[in-house]
Chains A and B, each alone.
Chain A
Amino acid sequence: MDATIEQTPRGLSMRINVSLRNGLHARPAARLAQEAQRYAADIQLISDTGEVDAKSMLDILSLAPPADTELTLLAKGTDAREALQGLARFFSDMQD
């Protein structure tokens, strides 16, 4: 998955294609939140339906993105770039 990181007024942004057989349900959502919590940056997860805190499993769950979807990750903070790179790796690992 080639993800390009762009500079936006709200911080660094990256678009990713997520294709999980069962969507972002409990287990992947929990792992995503755990991964996001490793970084100090504020990380938002944005879909067509809303914008949530990527460090909160409950938030990610309530976004309930469909199985195949495009999401945007938005990170703001000192380690924002590392965070986005780390999460990009996380998503590509999860699809395997």
Chain B
Amino acid sequence: MARAIFIGTPVSPGIAIGKLRRAHRTVQDEERSITPQEVAFEQEALRNAAEHVRAALAATVDNVPEDLAEYGDVIAAQMEIARDPKLINAALTRISHKLICASWALKLTVDELCMLFRSMDDPYLRDRAQDIRAVGLRLREYLYPGEGQNDVSENDGILVAEDLSPADVMELNLNRVQGILTAEGGPTSHTAILSRGLRIPYLADVTGLLESAREEEPLIVDGLSGCVLLAPDKTDLAHYKKRRDDYLAWEEHTQHTAQQPAETCDGVRVAVQANLESTAELSALTASGADGVGLYRTEFAYFKEHLPDEEELVAEYKAVTLGLLPRPVVFRTLDVGADKMLRAQAALNEPNPALGLRGIRFCLRHQGLFRTQLRALMRIGVSGNVAIMLPMVTTLDELRQTRRIIQELHQELTSQKLPHAPNPPLGVMIETPAAALVCDALACECDFFSIGTNDLIHYTMAIDRNNRHVAYLNEPLHPAVVRTLKHIIDAAHREGIGVSVCGELASDPFVLALLLGMGVDAVSASPRFVPGMKHLIRQLNASVCMGLAANVLLGCDIAASKRMLREQLQRSLGRELAFHTSSLFNTTQP
């Protein structure tokens, strides 16, 4: 295909230059009957393939960073599947009984096993079907070496897929993938976390590429500005090679200065914190120089096979808080709904879960679950620097109900003689227009605000996050959004409480400058972005940002606001501006 540009959402920054490689490549299945004389040969081929896959997986284990132990487990499970009698022996038997070739026998066996696991009640076991499929695909590639062009020495692959799951971890490591592009997925998926951990540039939401590009076609992934360049010419290549080198040098510099505080040229200090999905990311966090955790997503523990009990939660929360002392950790209470669901919730079968029983609404309905979590947090509160944050609040009553529950739990824990913090800092996540409009009342009764920019924009602009037709309205600089932000920050400061912004937008240089100008106290983003954000803040001038914010707030012209922001940041940062990840300037217009 001719030179073309595709747009995506930057998930893991950096620049990658390479050739397109499709994940889940369906090798043309051979479905051939064999003679009894060929049986031994086909069986041997399958045994060899299994050996190869196991060896390749064993090599992959060493490449997985230590802090992503979860993927180590996935690989261990897949290694075991690659020699499982249920899979291998069953396929070997099929070859001799049905007189069919190895690939066909394997396909039938894998399909049968996947079907069996997919029909299970337990969601954990259902997910194992993905592992079986991944191993099956890999085995088929080794059965016919050469056909899949899957040379292990190849190291300029850019992996392109509809979506990737943890089961595809092999695809990421085996062939030393340079970049990742998916049509679905988002910044908080497993693949996103892994790609940031492995420092592989990754763009999600890339539309149109899968349909129009061919295997092996050269392409450039710009994980900074969020675009993909297909079939680049000589000038593009030279340009991007230089950019990649410059970027790597810049990144190294920000890493070196990561432990210094984020203070603007005119002496305004802002806390730069990290969003955390699980304890697995802890070591990345310390290296990033983050001033604590601005958003700890507690859902992870709930998506395992069984609901966690209080002791499990205490152990998890302890691991997070104690390692980071004296830095604070803000725990967001269970926020399921919209894209993530528990079984109890899936049973409700809501037509529109984003507007349904989610966040604090779900917790107040299922108080058993909520109380267990709050008890664990209060118990950790004695030794760690813990704050509790409530998601999806719309009314003052939700905050008051939670306070009452905490009081009850305080009495309960006291009578049980369990040490605990009687009244840990309690904050409200402002992510609905309702909460934003009553934030003056909320500010009187809580200890801090945190703004969830993603949901706030979606609910303010009345758009469904999964609906591409209205994606163009996902506009952080829309006056409705900017004014809401300002209103929230001012209301908090009037009551003397702090405000942080914890959406992925906080890492966008333009939005970050704007937020500084509005007087935000803390920003929180993925640990991967923290050193860059701190570096950026040190180059900015708070009073200039204030002027900038005032101008953006006065105007109603989004394009003019963007121009103004771009000009100002260009002046302050120069060419370094291009090293920051932003999707502000490539919103697809209808």
Considering only residues 84-108 of chain B, those with a C-beta below 8 Å from chain A are 84-87
CB atoms of B85 and A64 under 8 A apart: no
Chain B contact residues: helix, strand, loop or mixed: helix
CB atoms of B85 and A55 under 8 A apart: yes
* A59 on the B face (CB < 8 A): yes
The interface residues of chain B lying within 8 Å CB-to-CB of A67 are 306
Known: A59-B86, A62-B116. A26 touches B128 (CB 8 A): yes
How far apart are B536's CB and chain A's nearest CB, in angstroms? 41
CB atoms of B84 and A56 under 8 A apart: yes
Known: A34-B80, A64-B125. A26 touches B86 (CB 8 A): no
CB atoms of B86 and A30 under 8 A apart: no
Q: Which of A33, A56, A62 has the most CB of B within 10 A?
A: A56
User: How far, in angstroms, from A79 to B52 measured CA to CA in the complex?
Assistant: 29
CB atoms of B306 and A61 under 8 A apart: no
Q: Which of B80, B116, B122 contacts A30 (CB 8 A)?
A: B80
* B234 on the A face (CB < 8 A): no
Interface residues in B, total, Cβ within 8 A: 24
A 41-63 binary contact with B (CB < 8 Å = 1; else 0) = 00000000000010111110110
* B76 on the A face (CB < 8 A): yes
CB atoms of B77 and A26 under 8 A apart: yes
The residue on A at minimum CB distance from B116 is A62
How far apart are A34's CB and chain B's nearest CB, in angstroms? 7
Q: Which of B79, B125, B305, B312 contacts A62 (CB 8 A)?
A: B125
CB atoms of B81 and A23 under 8 A apart: no
* A76 on the B face (CB < 8 A): no
The interface residues of chain A lying within 8 Å CB-to-CB of B306 are 22-23, 67
* A15 on the B face (CB < 8 A): no
CB atoms of B120 and A27 under 8 A apart: no
* B242 on the A face (CB < 8 A): no
The interface residues of chain B lying within 8 Å CB-to-CB of A25 are 124, 305
User: How far, in angstroms, from A55 to B80 measured CA to CA in the complex?
Assistant: 10
How far apart are B74's CB and chain A's nearest CB, in angstroms? 8
A 10-34 binary contact with B (CB < 8 Å = 1; else 0) = 0000000000011101110110011
User: How far, in angstroms, from A57 to B128 measured CA to CA in the complex?
Assistant: 11
Known: A22-B304, A27-B76. A62 touches B84 (CB 8 A): no
CB atoms of B132 and A58 under 8 A apart: yes
* B215 on the A face (CB < 8 A): no
The interface residues of chain A lying within 8 Å CB-to-CB of B312 are 21
CB atoms of A56 and B305 under 8 A apart: no
* B73 on the A face (CB < 8 A): yes
Considering only residues 60-87 of chain A, those with a C-beta below 8 Å from chain B are 61-62, 64, 67
User: How far, in angstroms, from A56 to B312 measured CA to CA in the complex?
Assistant: 29
The interface residues of chain A lying within 8 Å CB-to-CB of B113 are 58
The interface residues of chain B lying within 8 Å CB-to-CB of A30 are 76-77, 79-80
Residues of A within 8 A of B (CB): 21-23, 25-27, 29-30, 33-34, 37, 53, 55-59, 61-62, 64, 67
**What are 25 of the A-B contact pairs (CB < 8 Å)?**
A21-B312, A22-B305, A22-B306, A25-B305, A26-B128, A27-B77, A29-B80, A33-B80, A33-B84, A34-B80, A53-B85, A55-B85, A57-B77, A57-B81, A57-B84, A58-B117, A58-B128, A58-B132, A59-B85, A61-B125, A62-B117, A62-B120, A64-B122, A64-B125, A67-B306
Q: Beyond A53-B86, A62-B116, list 7 extra A-B contacts (CB 8 Å).
A: A22-B306, A25-B305, A26-B77, A30-B79, A57-B80, A64-B125, A67-B306
- Smallest CB-CB A-B distances: 9 pairs: A30-B80, A56-B86, A58-B86, A57-B80, A26-B77, A56-B85, A56-B84, A58-B84, A59-B86
